[in-house]
Amino acid sequence: MPLTEQQAIQQFVNYLKFQKRYSKHTVLAYEHDLQAFFDYLALQYGMSGFTDIKPGYVRSWLALQKQQGMASKTIARKISSLKTFFRFLMKQQLLAASPMATIMAPKLSKRLPQFVEKEDMSTLLGTVEFTEDWVGRTALMMIQILYNTGIRQAELVSLKEAHIDGSKGTLKVLGKGNKERIIPISEELAGQMKAYSEAKRKELEEANTEYLLVTAKGKQLYPRFVYDGVKKYLQLVTTIDKKSPHVLRHSFATHLMNNGADLNAVKELLGHSSLAATQVYTHNTIDKLKDIHKKAHPKA
């Protein structure tokens, strides 16, 4: 008995969750894209199912998104959702050919990642006074870890005490797709994390001792707590547009590259699956070199 489009979508969602191990956010985005596409087919062409979809139907839907003012980056994501879905159907031998074969994603303008200047980070970690309550102490710890390791916000929230090896100076991080990577940490950072853990046990009642970072109530951190804390203190030292935890990841990578770090090494530290994702930081490095050249060379 042939699968309905909803059954096919559900199988695809399960594939993304349990085999590809995509994040919850990514799975929801793909599912939403597919539902919107099939709703359009039903409304515009009175059709259901996935076996008779023509490239023209896809182009018509994408053109509608553009007319409604959707950003090119979002449209590219929707194309990726459809391509991945139809590849999955072909792999399962539910479809002979994909209607996406001739569909091209729009060209995206490359935006350089924003980062906090090295001097501003020194000011933040060396001069700015954090509040003396537990929230302030946790905010300082969060920022120190994010900037010193380049880990993602989700990785920070799920960081466990057992992942820290102070004697070896390493941190084990569980990244996207449950991929583990080992990040070197300084003796100073290891000591700060140890002191935080000891204070947690001493000062908080019923504190969660599995995860390193906790709220004033001893509960595991949540993304909004991290975002608000980072933004509060970054706005004291920088005027860049974005003041998020991810900006500290960009700062970590950019400062490494500006100081001559090997691109492949930065790739491994960030947990990127391909070198292409890391190469964006070379642009910031080149911009820095151009600036130095312009200021220092008499003929620049």
Q: Is residue 62 part of a domain?
A: yes
DSSP assigned state of 208: -
Residues 122, 60 share a domain: no
Q: Which entry of 172, 181, 231, 272 is annotated as an active-site residue? A: 272
pLDDT 10s digits, 125-142: 999 999 999 999 999 999
Concatenate the DSSP letters of all residues of 169-204 into one string: TEEEEE-GGG-EEEEE--HHHHHHHHHHHHHHHHHS
- Is 25 catalytic? The answer is no
**Domain that includes residue 275, residue range:** 118-296
**Residue from 176, 219, 231, 242 carrying the catalytic annotation:** 176
Q: Is the pLDDT of residue 282 over 90?
A: no
| Domain assignment present for 106 | no
Q: What is the pLDDT of residue 281?
A: 85
Q: In the prediction, which pLDDT does 288 show? A: 64
Burial of 125 (0-12, 13-18, 19+ CB in 10 A): middle
198, 271: one domain: yes
The pTM of the full predicted model, rounded to 2 decimals, is 0.68
> Active-site residue 152, yes or no?
yes
The Cα 150–Cα 146 span in angstroms is: 5
Same-domain pairing of 80 and 196: no
Query: 274 lies in a domain?
Result: yes
Q: What is the mean pLDDT of residues 79-86?
A: 96
- Residue 78 and residue 128 in one domain: no
Residue 133: CATH number of its domain: 1.10.443.10
Shared domain for 65 and 128, answered yes or no, is no
- Determine whether 281 is an active site residue: yes
Residues 135 and 86 in one domain: no
Q: What is the pLDDT of residue 300?
A: 57
Assess whether 70 and 145 both reside in one domain.
no
Number of structural domains the chain divides into: 2
If pLDDT is split at 50, 70 and 90, which confidence band does 254 have? very high
Q: What is the pLDDT of residues 56-82, one digit of tens each?
A: 999 999 999 999 999 888 999 999 999
Active-site hit among 78, 137, 152, 267: 152
In a domain, 102, yes or no: no
Query: 297 pLDDT band (50/70/90 cuts)?
Result: low
Q: Is 21 a catalytic residue?
A: no
One domain for residues 258 and 135: yes
In a domain, residue 242? The reply is: yes
Residue 41 within a domain: yes
Q: Is residue 201 part of a domain?
A: yes
Higher pLDDT, 39 or 296: 39
Catalytic residue among 137, 163, 243, 249: 249
Told to judge if 246 belongs to the known catalytic residues of this protein, a careful annotator would answer: yes
